[in-house]
Structure 1
Amino acid sequence: MKIVSLVPSITELLYTLGLETAVVGITKFCVHPEHWFRTKTRIGGTKDLHLERIIALQPDLIIANREENVKEQVEVLQQLFPVLVTDVNGYQEALEMIRTIGTATQRSHEAAALISAIERAFEHLDSPVQKTAVYFIWKDPWMTVGGDTFISDMMARAGFINLYASRNRYPVINPDTLKILRPAYLLLSSEPYPFKEKHKAELQHLLPGTTIMLVDGELFSWYGSRMLQAPAYFKQLRAKG
C-alpha cells in the first residue's frame, strides 16, 4: 500500500501506527516525525497541494480532512484515487477517526491499542475548576475558536470555559471586546499563527487582569497520536495558572 497524507496530525498518526514504508507523500507542514519531514516526498501545503506530485506517486490511499484541505482539490483527487476524507470536531470524533484509519490501513490492532492508551490518559485527567478563557489562533484578523471545534473540546478538558462556545468554527473578533468579556485566561496558540512574547505584552496592556499564556497549539489542535501527550500538558498549564 502507498499512502499520501494531506494532514499533519494524521501523518504523525500513520507513523505511530507503524506505516513507515507505506507513507510516500506528506505536506510541507507535516513536521512530525522529523525524519519523515526530511525524507518523504512533499506534495505542497494543506491548502495548496501540488496535484501533479501526488499523481506521480500513484497512491493506493489518500487521507484528507474536510477542514484542512481545499474541497475542489480533494474532489480532483477523488476522481483518480481512493480518498478518505476525515472530519474531526471533538474528542470522540478523533477516536473514531483513529479507528477508521486503522481499518483503512490494515492497522486495526494498533489503532485500538492507541485509542485505549489515549482514553486511559484522559481518564487520569481529573475534572478541574473551570476558568473562563479565549483562545486565539490568528492575528490580523484576530481569530478565536467556536464551540464546534476540536480545540474547544480540548479547552474544556484542560479546564477552560470557552467564552465563544456559542459561535461556530473560527470567528473573527475585535480584541477590544475582551475588555467587556474579561476572560480569566487568554490562550495564545503557537500555531497556525506563531504568537510570541511581544503579542502577549501587547494584549496584557489591553487586559491587565487576565492571565495570558503562550500555549502549544499542537496539543490543543492535533487529533491523533499527539492526544497521548495532551493530558500531561494540560496539568502543567493548570499548575502555571
Structure 2
Amino acid sequence: MRVVSLVPSLTEAVAVSLPGVLVGATDWCSHPADLDVVRIGGTKNPKVDRIIQLAPDLVVANEEENREPDLTALRAAGVEVLVTEVRDVPGAIRELGRVLGACGAKARPRWLDEAESAWQDPPVPDRRTTAIVPIWRRPWMVLGRDTFAGDMLARLGVDNLYATHPERYPRIAIEELRAAAPELVVLPDEPYRFTSDDGPEAFEGVPCALVDGRALTWYGPSLTAAPRVLSEALRAAGR
C-alpha cells in the first residue's frame, strides 16, 4: 500500500499506525518528527504532478484543509482520493478509523481506543466559561459555527460566543470581539502563532489561555493527551 497524505493530522495517524505505508506528505506535516517521505507542497497548493509520479494507491485529504480543484485533478489522473469531514470529536474518531482501514489497518490502533476513552469523560470544571477563540490576526478571525476545535472546547466547559455565527471562521473586528465581553480568550499557537507578547495585549483585562494548537486542532494521536493538555492551559489562565 502506498499512501500520500494532504493533512498533517492524518499524516501522523497513518505514520504511527502503519509504518512504511506513507510515501508522501505536505510540507506542514511535522509529526512524527522523524517522518521521512517525499514532500509534495502545502495543504492548499500541493504539487499534483509530484503526487501522481509517486503512484499512490490512495491519497487522504480533508474537505476543509484541501482544495477541491486539486482533488479533482488527482481523480482525473486515476488516483483514488479519500476525503474526510471532521466537525466534532466523535466524527474525528469515526473518520480516523475509516482512513486507517482504507490504508490497510486490520484493526483499530490502541491509541485510537485510548483517544476515544479520554474524550468520553474529559475534565470539566464546575462552572462553564464563555470565550472567543481567535485563529488569525491581521485580520482577526475566530472560530465560528460547527468546528472541531469548538466542539473540543465545549466538551471541556468552554462555550464559544461565536458558535452560532453563520460562518465557520468569521472575520470579526477587534472592537466587536472586545464588546462581546468574553470571560476568556483562547489563543492557540497555530495556524497563527499567538504568544504571550502577540495577542493578549489586544484583550486587556480579559484572561487569555495560550494553548497548544496541535492539541486544539489536530485529530490524530494528539487526541489522547488533548483533554489534559488543554485543561491545564485553561486552568493556568484562571478559568
- Under TM normalisation by the shorter chain, which class is it? over 0.9
CA distance in 2, matches of 1:192, 1:149: 14
CA deviation profile, 1:188-231 (whole Å, cap 9, x unmatched): 11011111222234313xx32x1012211111110122101101
Displacement of 1:232 after TM fit?
1.1
Match of 2:209 in 1: 213
Give the % identical residues.
Answer: 37
Q: Secondary structure at 1:152's aligned position in 2?
A: helix
CA distance in 1, matches of 2:25, 2:82: 15
Query: Is the 8 Å Cα contact of residues 15 and 21 (structure 2) preserved in structure 1?
Result: no
Match of 1:171 in 2: 170
CA deviation profile, 1:42-78 (whole Å, cap 9, x unmatched): 0000001111110110000100111101110111011
CA distance in 2, matches of 1:91, 1:123: 10
Q: Secondary structure at 2:175's aligned position in 1?
A: helix
Alignment length (residue pairs): 234
CA distance in 2, matches of 1:72, 1:211: 41
Match of 1:232 in 2: 228
CA distance in 2, matches of 1:53, 1:107: 26
Query: Is the 8 Å Cα contact of residues 99 and 108 (structure 1) preserved in structure 2?
Result: no
CA distance in 2, matches of 1:69, 1:89: 15
Matching of residue 101 in structure 1 with residue 93 in structure 2: no
Q: Secondary structure at 1:188's aligned position in 2?
A: strand
TM-score for both structures, normalised by structure 2: 0.93
Query: Is the 8 Å Cα contact of residues 62 and 84 (structure 2) preserved in structure 1?
Result: yes
CA distance in 1, matches of 2:117, 2:73: 40
Unaligned runs of 5+ in 1: none
Match of 1:125 in 2: 122
CA deviation profile, 1:108-128 (whole Å, cap 9, x unmatched): 4134x3332112212342332
Give 2:219's match in structure 1, choosing from 208, 219, 223: 223
CA distance in 1, matches of 2:199, 2:67: 32
Q: Secondary structure at 1:35's aligned position in 2?
A: coil
Match of 2:46 in 1: 49
Match of 1:66 in 2: 63
